[in-house]
Chains A and B, each alone.
Chain A
Amino acid sequence: MARVVVDVMPKPEILDPQGKAVHSALNRLGFTGVASVRQGKRFEIELGDDTSEDAVAEIERAASTLLSNPVIEDYAIHLEG
């Protein structure tokens, strides 16, 4: 079995209110060395028997259509295991 990991992050120019909330909570807790926080999503997708390049390319298509919104997010894809 192969695992495909898709990381989705808000684009740098898009405001990230969740990241800002986490940042201010960290400051409140005394983690004062933090300059900024961006919050994203991580998808761990287990492939079945077919772990060919085509199967991974299909996940890439899923990442660009459903898992991320190209208007506000970037994604990165990599194989694990």
Chain B
Amino acid sequence: MRIGVITFPGSLDERDAARAVRLAGNESVTLWHGDADLHGVDAVVLPGGFSYGDYLRCGAIARFAPVMEPLVDAARGGLPVLGICNGFQILCESHLLPGALIRNDHRKFICRDQRLRIERTTTAWTTGYDDGQEVVIPLKNGEGGYVADERTLDELEGEGRVVARYLGDNPNGSYRDIAGISNARGNVVGLMPHPEHAVETLTGPSSDGLAFFTSPVITGSSHTESVKSAGDHRQASVGAAS
């Protein structure tokens, strides 16, 4: 599977994300913010960092980068898209995901290994996990507080679109301890913690993040209709990857 990783001016984690893609057995494709098309990739990762210096609002300017036009169209058509940290902020600014991310309630940058519970395993990016699986993945953000109005939060909960939730102390004031969400179809996922920093024990606290990057392979296509039926294969594939 060819997975594109987009570099914006100020992106920080695109190399780690590309490396995670390769460690998961996929081919990483470098995409540029100024690209007019997606080079035929099967999925896209929006990496962490500080695109455009986080000026105006995090992700607000990146949303209007040329590459975002084909990306938003493709995402609406079912292309798997994973936004990590700043990528999550960009997805919210693009209205591919509801809500927004604001400054941490305690006003300090946070950087720590974070326990999470994976709550939705039918998205394009999480089929490699078990329902309710607890994982440890690094979290590092200054503006990671997930907010949305009550109606949106109820909708996310009701439709099972909370992909991951913080365990233990809430690290940033996110409403309902939300660490990650998906769109209704499950092909677009935004996540504040960084699974690309937890793909091998030499350089991370765990390899718990790797399954985010093996999951799209398991679907075998960019059509999320096949995601739900892929569950039978996931244990074997994850086992092979680890």
Contacts and interface: CB of A to CB of B under 8 A. Distances in A.
B100 A15 contact: no
Interface of A: 10, 13-15, 17-18, 20-21, 66-67, 69, 71-72
* B98, B99, B107 — most chain A CB neighbours (10 Å): B107
A69 B145 contact: no
A71 B92 contact: yes
B102 A15 contact: yes
A14 B147 contact: yes
Contacts of A15: 102, 105, 145, 147, 173
Contact of A71 (B64, B100, B104, B145): B100
A72 B93 CA distance: 11
B15 interface: no
Given A71-B92, A72-B147, A17 B105 contact: yes
Nearest to B98: A71
A69 B60 contact: yes
Contact of A17 (B60, B92, B103, B149): B103
Please give me the 8 A-B residue pairs with the lowest Cβ-Cβ distance, nearest first: A17-B103, A71-B100, A72-B100, A17-B107, A21-B107, A69-B100, A69-B57, A17-B105
A17 B108 CA distance: 10
A13 B151 CA distance: 13
A14 B99 CA distance: 11
B53 to A, nearest CB: 15
Contacts of B173: 15, 17
Given A15-B147, A71-B148, A72-B147, A66 B102 contact: no
Contacts of B61: 66
B202 interface: no
B56 interface: yes
Contacts of B145: 15, 17
A5 to B, nearest CB: 16
A17 B105 CA distance: 6
Given A67-B56, A69-B57, A69-B93, A17 B102 contact: yes
